[in-house]
Amino acid sequence: MGDVRSELQEIFTPFKTEIGHIPLPDKFTFPFYYEPYPLCIIAANELQAFIKEQTHWQHNFGFDPNNKVAEGGKMFGVLVVQNQSGEIGYLRAFSGKLNDTPWPKNFVPSINNLPEGDNFFNRGMREINVLGDEIRALETSVEMTAAQSEYENTKQQCAAEIESFRAFMRQRKMQRQRLRTALENKISADGFALLKDSLVKESYHYQHELKLLVARCEAEINAKKDVFYAFKNQLKKQVEKRAAHSATLQKKLFNSYQFLNSAGEKKSLESIFNERSIIQPPAGAGDCAAPKLLHFAFKNNMKPIAMAEFWWGVSPTTTIRKHGHFYPACKNKCEPILAHMLGGMDLDPNPMLMDNAQTKKLKIVYEDEYMLAVNKPEGLLSVPGKEIKDSVATRMKAKYTEATGPLVVHRLDMATSGLLLIAKSLEVHKNLQAQFTNRTIKKRYVALLESEIEQDSGIIKLPLRVDLDNRPSQLVCFEHGKLAVTRYEVIEKANGKTRINLFPHTGRTHQLRMHMAHPLGLNAAIVGDALYGKKAERMFLHAEYLQFEHPVTGHKMRLTAKADF
């Protein structure tokens, strides 16, 4: 019992900062889109100071490029809680592990909380590693290598021998044909008949010899194959045995993750994902900071008050993670788990499901009988979403009831304001969309970046694809990403910000936002970009200019809608 109390005392962290003036929130944090509650900001600041000062473990988070042992940056989390004594403090956690060091004190343990050293997982991994060593030894053994070599050489030699004999047969066939032609009218009929009979017998003889040769070669090849395949079958059995061991161990590991919720109900990792028709949980599921924090609180009868997670260290090369910035919980791994863990709790509303644009007007910049252009306000969807139906498309459909075909020609992110083209007929829609597809439409955006950049102009080429672990976020991927190209020109640098014009040559999802924020781009997120930077009153990105060919008249159209920032 003393050990449990000691662990609780080490992990439950009282605030060093005075917090008496900060009221407790009415509802718990919605984990997938939030602004950190003031108590979480204080807790995070104290944790960051602890990370800098502590000497119990070493991890440079990628700050020292010469340290090859460090794992790079890591996500940390804080959970403000009220303990059984009514005290307000916080719990601390990190995602995954910190190198191979023993679990550091003052942090909540892993949910499966396997003991160090001899546990079922480590024993299972040792067995799998032994099988792996046996497989590698067999694959590289002199006997198997020799058997494979003899099998391959015999196949090649037999193929060459058969082809050589076939070539000889073709040569003899041509000689027989020439002989028949040469003697057909020069010897007696009886003599010519005897000659033909002799030549036919020779043909049958060689065909018989070929059959014998093929049969002999097949026998030799099969004999060598049997020897080699005996090794291959042995190898296959070992590989299958390792796979079975791995699957059994993985299932046992999944079942060792038992997640509590506020009602004290437990669910395994496997059952949580199976309920969503996901056969196998993604790698690392259950090891993120958020599930660890909540599980420990529920297990020890602490009341969760508010939660936040932040990135500490150098950004990964693919996703965007800024040192010290707050980020929501990941969706692919955490959303199914947290749906169970937070079930029954009173959460903040999901901001992504709140329609805050109903009072915002949609201004018409240009209109004729064939098409129009509108200036979309930030916060309004281009097309209806699953939950929010108010959008440019629905407003246009209500206004232009006689229009045929889809109205909205292209899209802007909900958080982006600016010009959108609307077609009043299917034919006009096809024409304008073809201009976008063929990249003949010229576009200019204006943005405000969160820092002053060094370059005044340039071109960014970074391939992008969706982040499968955290939709709809994008990531840089040189293997599977689609090329995205953006030209930029700085307008002004002042007060620690950069006002910039952006000219996208391609139209990838979140292209401008990623190219601004990513370290391989300008490394300066757009002000207010809640996905790739820091949330503000709005995202300062505006589609300001469009140049295109009128779909009916063919006239060159130049439309401008100045940004209101």
DSSP codes of every residue in 503-526: EESS--TTHHHHHHHSTTTTS-PB
Pairing of strands 474-476, 556-560: unpaired
Supply the pLDDT for residue 480. Answer: 93
User: What six digits make up the tokens of 467?
Assistant: 């982040």
The answer to whether the beta carbons of residues 542 and 445 sit under 8 Å apart is: yes
- The CATH architecture of the domain made up of 355-560 is 2-Layer Sandwich (3.30)
Q: Where in the chain are the domains?
A: 2-112+257-352, 137-253, 355-560
Predicted pLDDT at 471: 85
- Read off the pTM: 0.79
State the Cα angle at 253 between 249 and 254, rounded to 5°: 120
Q: What is the pLDDT of residue 316?
A: 86
Which regions in the chain score pLDDT beneath 70? 1-7, 65, 67-71, 100-101, 116-117
The predicted structure's pLDDT at residue 98: 80
Residue linked to tokens 């032994």? 130
The catalytic residues are 413
- Residue 3: per-residue pLDDT: 53
Closest CA to 440 of 543, 549, 557, 550: 549
Over its C-alpha atoms, the chain yields an Rg (Å, rounded) of 36
- The pLDDT assigned to 2 comes to 46
Q: Where does residue 21 rank: exposed (0-12), middle (13-18), buried (19+ CB within 10 A)? A: exposed
| pLDDT at res. 441 | 96
pLDDT of residue 1: 45
Q: What is the pLDDT of residue 69?
A: 54
Give the span between the Cα atoms of 346 and 260, in whole angstroms: 16
Residue 405: left if φ>0, alpha if ψ -120 to 50, beta else—which one?
left
φ, ψ for residue 380 (rounded to 5)? -100, 130
Per the CB < 8 A criterion, the answer to whether 539 and 548 are in contact is no
